[in-house]
Amino acid sequence: MDASSGYLKAFVNLNGTYYTPNIALSSLGSGWHHFALTCDGRYSKLYVDGALEDTKDAGSVYPIQYAATANSTLLAGRKPGTHQPLWEGTSLVFWTKYASGM
């Protein structure tokens, strides 16, 4: 989340370029929300509470690379005014099948 810009942003790196599907924080109601990010090698899609909110198109299909090394890190959010993550982990689940309805 980039509170300074007023958007929640997801970052996907395909072929050395970052694509950032996002949603305006002002469009979110109060309470908990479920966020999901999908990527098929071309389209990066951000869903909020099951609804598609934004899609970024890489223009071509690129191979999806999963860097499963000891140095791989998944970050979620950041502490205000810093680049320190609010949550840092190394566990992530990937599905190889399309979820219908999403």
Query: Alpha-carbon distance 70 to 62, whole Å?
Result: 24
Query: Alpha-carbon distance 58 to 61, whole Å?
Result: 7
The pLDDT score that the predictor gives to residue 65 is: 73
Helix (H/G/I), strand (E/B), else coil: 44: strand
The pLDDT score that the predictor gives to residue 16 is: 83
- Could you tell me the pLDDT band of residue 56, with boundaries at 50, 70 and 90? very high
- Could you tell me the pLDDT band of residue 9, with boundaries at 50, 70 and 90? confident
Give the start-to-end residue ranges of the domains of the chain: 7-72
pLDDT at residue 10 greater than cutoff 60: yes
The model's pTM: 0.68
pLDDT at residue 54 greater than cutoff 70: yes
Tokens 């934004």 appear where?
Answer: 54
User: What percent of the chain shows pLDDT beyond 90?
Assistant: 23
Looking at per-residue pLDDT, the higher value among 70 and 58 belongs to: 58
